[in-house]
Amino acid sequence: MARAAQAVIDLSAIEDNFKLAKSLAKGAKAIAIVKADAYGHGAIVVAQRLQPLVSAFGVACIEEALELRENGISAPILLLEGFFSADELPVIAENDFWTALHSTFQVQLIRDAKLSRPINVWPKLDSGMHRLGLDGSEIQSVYQQLTAMDNVAEIVIMSHMACADELDNDMSKRQIEYFDQAVAGLDAEQSLANSPSILAIETSHRQWVRCGLMMYGASPFAQAHENADQLKPAMSFSTEVIAIREVALNESVGYAASFVCDQPRTIATIAIGYADGYDRHIANGSPIIVAGQRAKIAGRISMDMVSVDVSGLVDVKIGSKVELWGNNLPVGEVANAAATIPYTLFTGVSKRVPRVYVN
Ligand SMILES: Cc1ncc(COP(=O)(O)O)c(C=O)c1O
């Protein structure tokens, strides 16, 4: 009847993972990060489910925030990348958006704006990532300027951690020390923690945590971790076998003939490809689950199809279920096989793949 590729999204898992973040960062207010269509999980549906639990939502830009408002989301929404031009400021005020503020040109634009009401701003300190943010030498004076502005309501000082997913990396400690020195004496709430910091760096929790990847049930760490190991996968990305053939010794499979049979092999063709977001970098030999059993990718990922070596597996037939990642195969393991991270796999699942929600 229809191509079987789908991403089943377990909303209870997302809720439980968010509750885990809140329980780890006790006393902190938690922001659910739903940018990039909730990391591919569907921002509107995820936000509808989480709204009773969150202190705010986080998105990258005003377009994402407006889409949430237009779909009935009333919680505050933080623009993590801030605003890009003065014309966004009245929209920010009218919609109760909060904005990151990473540069002094934005301070000037807020000062000069005509706003219907004061806005909440999140001045961002560059504590070492050197991507966005005010320098340590600027933050005190920017804070004083903001507190004196009629256009500004509440102020939360934020920064972003560069290496928190690497448990042994002392960059996190250095960033936190730099942050504490730079903001010393300022009477503002603070926000430092992303998922790996929520899971593993208690000193980063402060008054606000920003919870993204962990909410979707993927560990940010390469190794086991007692908190991350409690996460529940929220996306089960699956499809079906659409053809099976016996391929003889020395025959090849797929584009570039990169898989050559070292013995006669049973090859299943499945209905998924890089146009669905099944990354072309997922390498020959990568894991995949066919009819409940582990199998290996054979050759290159095509646009709409993938070949899998199912030699020796039992009960594989046309229509057999294939799990690309989910409860039986962690997305992190697939990401490793593609030399990438779960973030890119999640956000890459394309619109051709229907999202199916379960509660
Ligand atoms: C500023 C900021 N805060 C929080 C997050 C959430 O990070 P994570 O998905 O690791 O929780 C992101 C994501 O990239 C971000 O850019």
Domain boundaries in the chain?
A: 11-218, 235-358
What are the φ and ψ backbone dihedral angles of 333, each rounded to 5 degrees? -70, -40
Ligand 1 pocket test target in 17, 194, 227 with most atoms within 8 Å of CB: 194
Ligand 1 pocket test target in 18, 55, 80, 211 with most atoms within 8 Å of CB: 80
* Centre of ligand 1 from the C-alpha of residue 193, in Å: 8
SS3 content of the chain, % helix, strand, coil (to 5): 30, 25, 45
Which residues are part of the catalytic machinery?
35, 255
With beta carbons less than 8 A apart as the criterion, state whether 303 and 338 touch: no
* Centre of ligand 1 from the C-alpha of residue 352, in Å: 26
With beta carbons less than 8 A apart as the criterion, state whether 244 and 267 touch: yes
11-218 has CATH 3.40.190.10 classification:
no
The pLDDT value recorded for residue 26 is: 96
Tokens 């051709």 sit on residue: 352
The pLDDT value recorded for residue 306 is: 98
The pLDDT value recorded for residue 183 is: 98
Q: What is the pTM of this model?
A: 0.97
Taking the CA of residue 215 as reference, the ligand 1 atom at the shortest distance is 11
What are the pLDDT digits (tens) for 223-245?
A: 999 999 999 999 999 999 999 99
Taking the CA of residue 35 as reference, the ligand 1 atom at the shortest distance is 13
CATH number for 235-358 (one of 3.40.50.300, 2.40.37.10, 3.40.50.1970, 3.30.720.210): it is 2.40.37.10
* Centre of ligand 1 from the C-alpha of residue 161, in Å: 9
Spatial distance between the Cα atoms of 231 and 87, rounded to a whole number of angstroms: 40
Tell me if domain 11-218 and domain 235-358 are identical in fold: no
Q: Using CB atoms within 10 A of its CB, is residue 48 exposed (0-12), middle (13-18) or buried (19+)? A: middle
- Ligand 1 binding site (Cβ under 6 Å of any ligand atom): 33, 80, 160, 194-195, 210-213, 220
Taking the CA of residue 31 as reference, the ligand 1 atom at the shortest distance is 4
* Centre of ligand 1 from the C-alpha of residue 198, in Å: 11
Q: At what angle do helices 136-147 and 171-182 cross, to 10 degrees?
A: 40
Residues pairing with 178 in the sheet: none
Taking the CA of residue 81 as reference, the ligand 1 atom at the shortest distance is 1
Beta carbons within 10 angstroms of residue 318's beta carbon: 11
* Centre of ligand 1 from the C-alpha of residue 212, in Å: 6
The pLDDT value recorded for residue 128 is: 97
Taking the CA of residue 211 as reference, the ligand 1 atom at the shortest distance is 11
Name residues of the chain where pLDDT drops below 50.
none
Residue 174 structure tokens:
């250095």
Q: What is the DSSP letter of 292?
A: T
Ligand 1 pocket test target in 55, 172, 210 with most atoms within 8 Å of CB: 210
The dihedral over CA atoms of 44, 45, 51, 55, expressed in degrees to the nearest 10, equals -60
Q: Using CB atoms within 10 A of its CB, is residue 1 exposed (0-12), middle (13-18) or buried (19+)? A: exposed
With beta carbons less than 8 A apart as the criterion, state whether 261 and 311 touch: no
* Centre of ligand 1 from the C-alpha of residue 192, in Å: 10
What are the pLDDT digits (tens) for 131-145?
A: 999 999 999 999 999
The pLDDT value recorded for residue 1 is: 66
> Going by CA atoms, what residue is nearest to atom 5 of ligand 1?
194
With beta carbons less than 8 A apart as the criterion, state whether 78 and 55 touch: no
